[in-house]
Structure 1
Amino acid sequence: MAKKFPLNPPHPERLCWGCDLYCPSGALACGNGAERTMHPVETFGEDWYRFGDLAISPEPGAKHLEPPAATRK
């Protein structure tokens, strides 16, 4: 079974997110190349899981970001 993929990890830059190993950025074990795979939060922002039809939702009771009430439609 695959590890749970965190929506907003505290320090995504410290890990490679390319596979289920989640290796430290300086010690890649899967051999996927010389660079680490960035977490989507680094590329698309903290609400990355809301775009498209990824079918990802926060777990009940989990801390997640909601848009401010003034910007909700």
Structure 2
Amino acid sequence: MAKRFPLQPGHPERNCWGCDHYCGADAPRCGNGSSRTQHPAALLGEDWYTFGDWGLDIVEDATSIKPAVANSR
């Protein structure tokens, strides 16, 4: 089960947001050899989810979202 994804984390720079682990920025477990994945709020601002087509169902005043479950075939 995937973790809930925060819409506006307090310190997005402290974590890697590339997978469900949300590892510390200096210790990612993905093993891809690159730097951390930034949170969209760090790149686009606090209202990042209002721009573009993210396909998210966000309830008013929500602080996080439940990731969609991918269909396995």
**Preserved CA contact (<8 Å) 1:8 1:46:** yes
Structure 1 unpaired stretches of 5+? 64-73
Return the structure number with greater relative CO, CA threshold 8 A, min gap 6: 2
Q: Which residue of 1 aligns with 2:7?
A: 7
Give the AA of the match of 1:12: P
Number of positions where the alignment pairs a residue of Structure 1 with one of Structure 2: 63
Q: CA RMSD in A?
A: 1.6
TM-score after normalising by structure 1: 0.74
CA offset digits 1:28-72 (Å, max 9, x no partner): 111122300000001000100011121324445535xxxxxxxxx
Q: Secondary structure at the match of 2:30?
A: coil
Give the AA of the match of 1:44: L
Give the AA of the match of 1:55: G
Structure 2 unpaired stretches of 5+? 64-73
**Preserved CA contact (<8 Å) 1:50 1:56:** no
Bigger shift: 25-34 or 49-58? 49-58
TM-score after normalising by structure 2: 0.74
Q: Which residue of 2 aligns with 1:67?
A: none
Q: Which residue of 2 aligns with 1:16?
A: 16
